[in-house]
Structure 1
Amino acid sequence: MESADNLRYLLEVTRSGSPSDAARRLGVDRTTVTRRIASLERASGERLFDRSSGAWQLTDAGRRMLPHAEAIDAAVVSAFRDSDRHQGLRGQLRIVASDGFGAYLLTPGLLPLTDEHPDLEVAVVTATAHGVLTMRDFDLAITLEEPSPHAGVVRPLADYELGLYAASAYVGEHAEVRSLGDLASHVVIWYVEALLDVAPLRFLGGLLPGIRARVQTTNITGHHHAVRAGLGIAPLPTYIGDADDTLTRVLPTEFAVTRHYWEVVPREISRQARVRALRALLDDLVLAHPQLRPPRRRSRLDVSSRE
């Protein structure tokens, strides 16, 4: 009978994309990883990975086998759940978050968790794109779009607001912005339109008709730094803009866009002590932050502006 332990190697290669990276995570050499995968392929009679590109990608047969590998991994972790509870949390928490939430809220807010559990390692990957939920290697993801229930245990996490911001020096040196139409004569900063695949952020044309972003970058940190440098005006989450005393909010009564953060946890690990501790931390962070609001239940993301 094929060893169930070999499924752990399939899981790690899937997570890391290469046998070399999987070997480092598992503490073995690359040859061991490739030998274990070859053993699985012989036993199944099918090729489990496509090796034609730089990264190893699962074949259809590999994708069919992956849930079984994940179930075994979850069972092993669950076996140590009670030990975690009594001895303090240990191991690694892998979090995928949108750029703004991950960089400006989550990472600075981790201190209570890392202080209480010194043996816990936290890895945060930030990305504002559909691709975050195609990653198998996460314990919890925070997204701007409502995930499918098939993705795991889903819940609304927080509501937040976007406003227009400019550097105080920029406001003093350029023509006054009295209406949204006046933005046509200013440099507007936003995402790279061709690469923006997140529906809740594709609102610029609808709320600012005729306004095109002259400066575009792929993440919210780039928007923030461009505004700070006096390059122009950008929509920013109020938890970024209001916290920066070098910035001034522009047209606060005319432009205020509500957006939502969602949380998703793979179903098979949703009861792990580490995951429960992280979810409790996120709840505390939302309740304590002045620019975040506890979520209201919703079936669709809304687009709103104040006229």
Structure 2
Amino acid sequence: MSPVDPGFESPGGSPNADDLLVLRAVAKTGYFSEAAHELGLNHTTVSRRITALEKSLGAHVLVRTSSGWRLTDLGRRAVVAADSVASAVSALTSETQTSRGISGVVRLSATDGISAYIIAPAVAKLRETNPDLNVEIVATTRRASQIRTGLDMEIVVGEPQVQRAEVIELGEYELGLFASREWVAANKAPTSLEEVLRSPLVYFIDSMLQVDDLDTPRKILPGMRDSVTSTNVFVHVYATRASAGIGFLPVFMAAEHADLVRLLPSTRQRLTYWLVVRPENLQQPAVAAVVRAIRDAVSLAQPFLVGEGPNPFLGAPSEGLS
């Protein structure tokens, strides 16, 4: 154990298991208020339990940062103990959970496209037999975080370089060049990359792009001038439909819009979705179930994601890949 913090009196006995579970919730969410909501407690109770835990251990388990509470070295060791407590409770109640279904809150982050087209229908189907399961989806495009405060798992583009986490390859998706039929009628469809380079580009904001793999299209199209750019891929789709220029779009998103025309089909880029999850989170039945549901959904949708099949969650042929 770390030396006793000089700001504390001598440790006051063994830590309380409930206090450890409260710390675990704070470590997951990063905030007392969110941990309180998840545990069905109030903010004051969470604060009191953390104080009691620190008193029993004789040192701080959390430090405040600009992005919420972070674990100290002692806090990380305490969370390992809390995970063991949670696993033991889960084992004791597994039979009951099987009869009642999975319950709890699972929070994940993923890019806009896969969040809407794959993850949302996958977890909706999972909830049909597990109505007490709550899945929170944070739509964002970024690298996997080394410190996954507040998240049970992350889905990112490009192979992540992280430690102390399971990294699972989910599947590929394809980017292609698209323009609206109206834009093509007014400007003529380009027949070469040289002609594409003279056209305005609809894509991510270059200065704000955090994912190296998503920068590859700009290497394919060097010097192409920006038109409408955004951190949100749905903006790319709708700006392209509004004739803002040529969009480098996921083919599975463009496929549902008959007013989009694919240009130079040989100009394409395939990127890979990866899932990042801590091993201790996988021990939680709710997290494990959501991971399985997402993996199954991506596998089922793989032809759709690369523009070679219909959307399996809509049951209707895709349109707009002419």
Q: What band does the TM-score fall into relative to the shorter chain?
A: 0.7 to 0.9
The answer to whether 1:268 aligns with 2:280 is: yes
> Which of 282, 286, 305 is the equivalent residue of 2:298?
286
Distance in 1 between residues matched to 2:191 and 2:182, nearest whole Å:
17
**Which digits, 9 at most, give the CA deviation of each residue in 1:263-294, with x for residues without a partner?**
2332124355434443443344234333237x
Q: Which segment drifts farther, 41-50 or 180-189?
A: 41-50
The answer to whether 1:82 aligns with 2:104 is: no
Aligned position for 2:247: 234
Cα 1:149–1:23 shift into 2, 3 Å: closer
Cα 1:243–1:134 shift into 2, 3 Å: farther
Cα 1:195–1:121 shift into 2, 3 Å: same
Q: How does 1:11-30 map to 2 (within 5 A)?
A: 11-30=24-43
Q: How does 1:82-101 map to 2 (within 5 A)?
A: 82-101=95-114
Aligned position for 1:55: 68
Distance in 1 between residues matched to 2:245 and 2:101, nearest whole Å:
48
Q: Which segment drifts farther, 196-205 or 209-218?
A: 209-218
User: Cα offset for 1:205?
Assistant: 3.2
Residue identity opposite 2:109 in structure 1: V
The percent identity for this pair of structures is 33
Partners of 1:18 and 1:56 within 8 A in 2: yes
Aligned position for 1:256: 268
> Which of 200, 206, 212 is the equivalent residue of 1:199?
212
Distance in 1 between residues matched to 2:87 and 2:213, nearest whole Å:
33
User: Cα offset for 1:201?
Assistant: 0.6
> Which of 129, 132, 148 is the equivalent residue of 1:116?
129
Partners of 1:144 and 1:261 within 8 A in 2: yes
Aligned to 2:102, the other structure's residue is in SS state coil
Partners of 2:113 and 2:233 within 8 A in 1: yes
User: Cα offset for 1:206?
Assistant: 1.7
The answer to whether 1:215 aligns with 2:225 is: no
Distance in 2 between residues matched to 1:158 and 1:37, nearest whole Å:
41
Distance in 2 between residues matched to 1:188 and 1:257, nearest whole Å:
16
Residue identity opposite 1:274 in structure 2: A
Q: How does 1:58-207 map to 2 (within 5 A)?
A: 58-130=71-143, 134-148=147-161, 150-207=163-220
Partners of 1:23 and 1:29 within 8 A in 2: yes
Aligned to 1:56, the other structure's residue is in SS state strand
User: Cα offset for 1:102?
Assistant: 0.8
Structure 2 regions of 5+ residues with no counterpart? 1-13, 307-322
**Which digits, 9 at most, give the CA deviation of each residue in 1:8-58, with x for residues without a partner?**
222222333332332222222222111111122223332333336473333
Partners of 1:128 and 1:198 within 8 A in 2: yes
Partners of 1:48 and 1:58 within 8 A in 2: yes
Distance in 1 between residues matched to 2:89 and 2:255, nearest whole Å:
45
Residue identity opposite 2:38 in structure 1: R
Structure 1 runs of 4+ aligned residues shifted over 6 Å read none
Aligned position for 1:297: none
User: Cα offset for 1:164?
Assistant: 1.0
Aligned to 2:305, the other structure's residue is in SS state coil
Aligned to 1:134, the other structure's residue is in SS state coil
Residue identity opposite 2:280 in structure 1: E
User: Cα offset for 1:116?
Assistant: 2.5
Cα 1:57–1:227 shift into 2, 3 Å: same
Aligned position for 2:58: 45
User: Cα offset for 1:119?
Assistant: 2.6
**CA RMSD, Structure 1 to Structure 2 (Å):** 2.6
Partners of 1:12 and 1:22 within 8 A in 2: yes
User: Cα offset for 1:175?
Assistant: 4.1
Residue identity opposite 2:226 in structure 1: A
Q: TM-score, normalised by structure 1?
A: 0.83
